[in-house]
Structures are given as C-alpha cells and as structure tokens.
C-alpha cells in the first residue's frame, strides 16, 4: 500500500494506496492489462451478448411482418378470406404462429430499468476532518507509534484526499468512542439523510417502494440495515428486502445488478438501492501497517438510488441501465486473500491488504473490460481488436496488440475513487484525458474514499458541471474484496440541467476542479 521510506519526497516518491508498505522494491503499478488479453475473456463477452440478446432476433422478424401487413390492400384481404374460409387448417396454423411469436417476444423481452434519480449524503460541517485534525486525533489515541504516525502522515499527503472530507463524530471525540450505538447512529445519519433527499427529489412515497437492496461491507448489525430502513420509513410488509455485507467497494454495482434482476420479474415496481460504508467500528487501533492505510483514506458517505421499470417514469427518469457486467476472481486463492479482515498480533481487528493487490486488481479489470468490450465498442473497434488478438494468440504473429478506444463507447467515466495510484494507472492504461478523470479525482479530493457510494458522488459531480446530455453513455466501474470488478453502463434519457439539481456539489461546484499535486514514480 505504500513505500516505507522515511526519506521519501512528495515529488520523487510514490506511496501507493493499494499495496502494502513492505514492498519497497516491488512494482506498485497496475499491470498493463490491455497488453495481455486472453481469448477466453473475449469469448465471455460474446457469450454474454448472445445469451442476453436473443430477443433482438425477434424484433426484425416482427418488423418485417408489420411492414408486410401494412402493405396489404382491401382486395388482398378479400382474396385471403376467400382462400381461407374453406381451409381451417391454414387458418389455425397462421393464428397459432402469430400467437406463438407474439407471446415469445413479450415473454423474452427484458423490462427496461430506469434510474429515476439518486441522492448522495453530505454530512454536516461539524464532522469535517482536515488532514491536521486526523493526525491530531490519531496522536491523541495514544496507540500508534511515532514511526506509524509519520507513516500515516505520508499516506495522507499522497492519497489525493483534500481538507474537507468527513469523519464519524464518535472518532472525532476525545477520547474516541467507537461502540455499537455510535455505529448505528452513523448508519442512520447516512442512510436516512440520503433517502430523505431522494424521496423529496422524486416525490415517490415510501409505501410505493417494492424492492430494497442495501449494501455495507463491514457493519452488519442485527436487525439488519435494510430492516432499519423498513422500520424507519414504515415500508410495506411484502417488500423484497436484501442486505449485502462483506462485498467490498464494488458492492454498489452488485446491488444495482440485483435490483435489475428483481425488476425484470416484478412488473410495475420501484427499487431502492442504498450504498454506504460504516467507519465507527472499523477504525483500526493497531500498528500493523498493512491495516493502517484504510484508516487514512476511508471517509463517511453514502448514496440512495431509485430504480423503476414503469413505462410512465420514462419521461422524468434520468438514465436507463444498459448493461451490468460482474467479474469474480474468488476461486483464485491469491485473489481471495488479497483484502482480508483479520486480527493482528494484539487481537485488534483490521483489514489487511496484500502486496499482490495491484496485480490481482489488474487481472480482474482486464477480465471485466474485455467481457464488456463486445457489448459496447463500435464494430470497427471490435474488428480491429479481434483480428489482432487472433493474429497474436492463434497464428503467433509478432504484432503490437490493438488497444480499443473506450472513449468511442462512452462519453463519461465513473471510476471508483479508491486511491490516487489506481486512478493514475487507469488513466494511463485506458488512455483517458484529465477531463475524463476529473470526476473521480475531485470526488477523492472532496469526499475521500466513500467505498461503494463513490461512483454516485462522481456522477453527481458531472451533473453539477452540466456535462450530462441526452444520449450520453456513462461507464461506472468499481472493484473490491473477494476479488471482484463490476461495471454498469447508463444512457442519459435527457439533459440534466444543473440549475434544477440538488446534490452535494451544487453550492461549491465553481471551486472545482482544484489543483491536485501529481506524484512521480521512480523505478
């Protein structure tokens, strides 16, 4: 996660927020995953396209049938009637065929999943935590060694976090008071704050919500967080409620995918998705450096998203969900254990990050984007990519691999603000511009790593900047423990007018982008 070099200078040394500090001589960069694509991942993408796109074959057939029927004249109908009135077999067969095709189309056609609106929680100024205040509270805890206090200070300086991130009230007190009651208080503050804003924006009544999906990785009380929401808003008794725990920073998109699948089989429904993380009980009070980095970069935040499959919501909805692609590398032991919650030698619980984390992340990202490629890339890009891939893998030709230009598939990118190092490497590997990376970098600077909700702060940033136009496509990509990498693709159904928006950025959007010092890696 970093470089344990006390002589490191901010301009000449780089502490990665995604690798352990023990690897001073190792390469902390993400592997260039687009340079070593495996053919099986491309097959996954095309298999996904075929298995989820069979209904598309029926659309042209029905279209041809409709065009043919529209050209029939009255004389044709009379001739057809005279031909069929004494031929009951032909009438029965034609009728059965039309009923079969119509039934098959409507049964296999997936319901469109619409994002009506979303809201991100903005804590009160009283819990704002500057870097100096964070270090002051860390020192006052009386637990960390002087060496590890300096280590945390270096992590903060190189993390990409700004001076206005938010920390739980219980951890800002002197002495800190991390207990179950305070953790519940933080969860209620974040969840209810985001949901209140969402219901006010959409005008939807709590009783109208039929599906609830909540994800929080490390805090899983009993009753569950989803039960807390049901109780607070008095949601209806037959609500489909799900609480996802232990699934890391990519769980927000897992929740979206689960809600999408539930909406496919429950017509005329609203789905509420709540994504957050809880810090109060998960601040690490120990001196294991592989567990200390999460203290420095994770901050308080959360988001609530309202999805719908009602055709009547299309006019007011902001986005339509086009694709979700999930990649899970948990079958591999190295991937499974690279982010691991455990006790240190003094029985203090923390999340340990392996030195293999960056390599694991690169492999998961490579699999995910290669699977996603056939679904979103223009045919010209797919053809060039596929030809060069086959030439290299099948015919063993020594040619330079073709790197698809994902900027041709998406106008906007929401990359999980997990840390500066990963953002730097993804910018380089995907050949993105500073403009494309701005939402992720500014979210990291202003709100820190808010885990699974960071993608929504990034989308809110784009809306506040007035960047969202009708037809724009946005790619959300996140990764987390397990190891998982997940993607979601959204299409804007209308222009989002920032003058009519209410989100955490609106009262200060003119202050962004801010200058974020870049670090240089010395090999």
Residues noted as catalytic: 249, 328, 412, 416, 449
Separation of alpha carbons 509 and 501, rounded Å: 12
Q: Which DSSP state fits 127?
A: G
| Ramachandran category for residue 451: left, alpha or beta (phi over 0 → left; psi -120 to 50 → alpha) | left
Q: What share of the chain is helix, strand, coil (3-state, %, to 5)?
A: 45, 15, 40
For the chain, how far is it from start to end, CA to CA, in angstroms? 16
In sequence order, what are the beta bridge partners of 412?
474
Q: Which DSSP state fits 406?
A: G
Asked whether 372 and 44 are in contact (CB, 8 A), the reply is no
Helix axes 74-84, 88-108, angle to 10 degrees: 120
DSSP strand pairing (302-308 vs 349-353): unpaired
Separation of alpha carbons 519 and 523, rounded Å: 13
Given the structure tokens 């203090």, which residue do they identify?
A: 348
Asked whether 365 and 326 are in contact (CB, 8 A), the reply is no
Separation of alpha carbons 450 and 454, rounded Å: 5
Give the list of residues 6+ apart from residue 124 with CB closer than 8 angstroms, or none: none
Task: Return the beta strands (E) in 121-254 as ranges.
Answer: 128-129, 165-166, 209-215, 240-244
| Ramachandran category for residue 204: left, alpha or beta (phi over 0 → left; psi -120 to 50 → alpha) | beta
Asked whether 335 and 367 are in contact (CB, 8 A), the reply is no
Tell me the C-alpha to C-alpha distance, in Å, between residue 369 and each of 256, 366, 406, 421.
Answer: 18, 6, 9, 19
Report CA torsion sign: 488, 489, 493, 495.
Answer: positive
Name the residue among 343, 351, 349, 333 with its Cα closest to residue 246: 351
Given the structure tokens 């890391």, which residue do they identify?
A: 248
In sequence order, what are the beta bridge partners of 306?
117, 272
Give the list of residues 6+ apart from residue 267 with CB closer than 8 angstroms, or none: 111, 309
* Maximum pairwise Cα distance, the chain: 98
Residue 76 CB coordination number (10 Å) = 11
Separation of alpha carbons 262 and 354, rounded Å: 35
């Amino acid at each position: 996660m970093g470089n344990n070099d006390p002589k490191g200078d901010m301009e000449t040394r780089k502490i990665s927020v995604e690798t352990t500090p023990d690897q001073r001589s190792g390469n902390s960069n993400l592997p260039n995953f687009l340079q070593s694509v495996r053919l099986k991942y491309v097959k996954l993408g095309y298999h996904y396209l075929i298995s989820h796109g069979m209904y598309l074959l029926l659309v042209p057939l029905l279209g041809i049938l409709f065009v043919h029927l529209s050209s029939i004249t009255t004389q044709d109908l009379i001739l057809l009637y005279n031909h069929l009135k004494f031929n009951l077999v032909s009438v029965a067969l034609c009728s059965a065929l039309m009923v079969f095709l119509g039934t098959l189309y409507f049964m296999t056609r997936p319901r469109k999943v619409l994002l009506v609106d979303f809201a991100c929680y903005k804590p009160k100024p009283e819990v704002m935590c500057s870097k100096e205040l964070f270090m002051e509270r860390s020192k006052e805890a009386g637990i960390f060694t002087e060496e590890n206090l300096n280590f945390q200070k270096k992590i903060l300086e190189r993390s990409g976090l700004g001076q206005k991130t938010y920390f739980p009230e219980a951890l800002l007190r002197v002495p800190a008071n991390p207990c179950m009651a305070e953790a519940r208080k933080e969860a209620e503050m974040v969840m209810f704050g985001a949901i209140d804003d969402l219901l006010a924006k959409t005008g939807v009544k709590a009783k109208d919500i039929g599906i609830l999906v909540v994800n929080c990785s490390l805090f899983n009380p009993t009753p569950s967080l989803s039960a807390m929401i049901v109780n607070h808003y008095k949601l209806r008794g037959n609500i489909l409620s799900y609480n996802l725990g232990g699934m890391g920073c990519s769980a927000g998109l897992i929740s979206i995918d689960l809600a999408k699948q539930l909406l496919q089989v429950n017509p005329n429904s609203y789905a509420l998705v709540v994504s957050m993380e809880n810090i109060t009980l998960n601040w690490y009070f120990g001196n294991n450096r592989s567990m200390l980095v999460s203290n420095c970069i994770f901050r308080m935040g959360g988001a609530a998203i309202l999805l719908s499959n009602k055709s009547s919501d299309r006019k007011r909805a902001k986005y339509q969900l086009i694709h979700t692609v999930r990649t899970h590398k948990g079958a591999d032991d190295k991937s499974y254990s690279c982010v691991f919650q455990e006790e240190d030698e003094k029985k203090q619980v923390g999340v340990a990050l392996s030195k293999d984390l960056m390599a694991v992340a690169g492999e998961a990202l490579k699999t995910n984007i290669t699977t996603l490629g056939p679904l979103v890339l223009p045919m010209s890009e797919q053809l060039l990519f596929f030809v060069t891939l086959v030439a290299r893998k099948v015919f063993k030709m020594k040619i330079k691999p073709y790197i698809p230009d994902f900027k041709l598939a998406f106008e906007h990118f929401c990359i999980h603000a997990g840390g500066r190092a990963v953002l730097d490497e993804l910018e380089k590997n995907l050949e993105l511009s500073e403009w494309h990376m701005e939402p992720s970098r500014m979210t990291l600077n202003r709100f820190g790593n808010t885990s699974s909700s960071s993608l929504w702060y990034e989308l809110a940033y784009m809306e506040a900047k007035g960047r969202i136009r009708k037809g724009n496509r946005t790619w959300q990509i996140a990764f987390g423990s397990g190891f998982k990498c997940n993607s979601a693709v959204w299409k804007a159904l209308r222009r989002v007018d920032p003058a009519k928006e209410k989100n955490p950025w609106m009262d200060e959007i003119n202050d962004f982008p801010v200058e974020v010092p870049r670090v240089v890696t010395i090999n």
